[in-house]
Amino acid sequence: MPQFYGTEVRSRLLLGTARYRSPAMLAEAVRRSGTDIVTVSLRRETAGGRQGGAFFDLIRELGVRVLPNTAGCHSVSEAVLTAKMAREVFATNWIKLEVIGHHDTLQPDVFGLVEAARILAGEGFEVFPYTTDDLVVAERLVAAGCKVLMPWCAPIGSAMGPQNLPALRAMRGEFPDVPLIVDAGIGRPSHAATVMELGYDAVLLNTAVAAAADPAAMAEAFAKAIEAGHMAHGAGMLEPRDMAVPSTPIIGKAVFS
C-alpha cells in the first residue's frame, strides 16, 4: 500500500468533505468509500482567528486521518497562515497546499506554491502540493521538500477527466519513487481508473462524489474503479495494436506473425 510521509494508508482514494448535502451524507460516503484520508478546508471556517465550528468535530469523529487544505488561499502568506491554523485545529503536520493563481479556473499559482512549500517544509510541515502536470514545477516542489505530488488532471470541479495523459505518464516516469496523487478534475470512475492504470498511487475526489445524486454509492463506485485501475497496472496491460489478433488458429490461412 502507498506511504505518504512514512504513513502507510489502506485506501488509494482520498475524499474531500465539501459540498455534501449534509454531514450525515458525507459520513456515509466516507464509510462506503473505505477511504482513510479526508481533506478539509479551513480558510473561510477559521476566518477571524476562529477554531471552526462543530463541523470540525464531526470530521474528527469520522475516525479517519485528516489532511487539512488551504483551499481558497490566493497568496503565499494566506496559505502559510491557514496551514498553521490547520496544524493547531487538527494536530497534524500534513497540509494539502493550494495557492490559487487564477480566480476563475482555480489554476494553481505554481510560483507561490513552490515558495509556500519551501516555507512550510522548513517549519516541519509535510506538504501535499496541488500542482499542474508541469515537470519542472514538480522538480522544484521536490527540491523544496515535498515528498508527495498532487497534479491535477483537469481544472478543479470540472469533471472533465484526464486532459493530458502523456503529461501524466511523463510525470509518473520522471518521479518513480515519489507518491503521486491525481488531485483535481476527475468526473467519473472511468477517469479514476484511467489515471490509476498509468501507475498513479492514489486519487483525490470531492465534487464527483459530493454532487452525485447518491454520494455514498458513487464513493463506492470510485473505490472499486481506483482499485481496478491499480490492480490492472500491476498486472501488466496489453498495448493496443492496429489490427485484430485472433486467439485461436485461423483454419486454412497461414499465420506469419
Partner 1 sequence: MTVLVKGAGVAGLAAAFELSRRGIAVEVVDAAETIGAGASSYAGGMLAPYCEREAADEAVLTLGLSSADWWEEAVPGEVIRRGTLVLAAGRDSGELDRFAARTRGYEWVGGNAIGELEPDLAGRFERALFFSEEAHLDPRKAMAGLYAALVERGVRFHLGSADAPSETSYSAVVECTGAAAIATTPGLRGVRGEMLFLETSEISLSRPVRLLHPRHPLYIVPRDSHRFMIGATMIETDDDGPITARSVMEFLNAAYAVHPAFGEARLVETGVGIRPAFADNLPRVLDHDDGFAIAGMHRHGFLLAPAMARQLAERLCGAKHPPFSPNPSFRQGAIQ
* Binding window for partner 1 (CB under 8 A); candidates: 16-24, 85-93, 162-170, 229-237: 16-24
Out of 46, 70, 132, 206, the residue judged to bind partner 1 by CB under 8 A: 46
Residue 24 interacts with partner 1 (CB under 8 A): yes or no: yes
d(CA 226, CA 33): 11
Residue from the set 9, 13, 14, 27 that interacts with partner 1 by CB under 8 A: 27
69 binds partner 1 (CB under 8 A): no
Interface positions, 206-245, toward partner 1 (CB under 8 A): 211, 213
224 is catalytic: no
Residue choice 23, 101, 187, 199 for contact with partner 1 (CB under 8 A): 23
- Shortest approach of partner 1 to residue 210 CB, angstroms? 10
CA atoms of 130 and 53, how far apart (whole Å): 26
Q: Which stretch binds partner 1 (CB under 8 A): 51-59, 124-132, 175-183, 221-229?
A: 51-59
What are the binding residues?
A: 157, 184-185, 206-207
Q: Catalytic pick from 84, 96, 147, 224?
A: 96
Please enumerate, by residue number, every residue annotated as part of a binding site for 1-deoxy-D-xylulose 5-phosphate.
157, 184-185, 206-207
Closest C-alpha among 183, 134, 174, 180 to residue 155 = 183
Q: Does residue 50 bind partner 1 (CB under 8 A)?
A: yes
Is the Cβ–Cβ distance between 99 and 144 less than 8 Å?
A: no
Q: Which of 54, 91, 238, 254 binds partner 1 (CB under 8 A)?
A: 54
152-211 residues in contact with partner 1 (CB under 8 A) are 157, 211
Which cell is 60 given? Answer: 474528527
CB 39 within 8 A of CB 20: no
Q: Which is nearer to partner 1, 43 or 172 (CB)?
A: 43
Residue 233 exposed, middle or buried by CB count within 10 Å (0-12, 13-18, 19+): middle
Bridge partners of 96, per DSSP, are 69, 128
As annotated, the active-site residues are 96
Residue ranges binding partner 1 (CB under 8 A): 21-25, 27, 44-48, 50, 52-58, 157, 211, 213
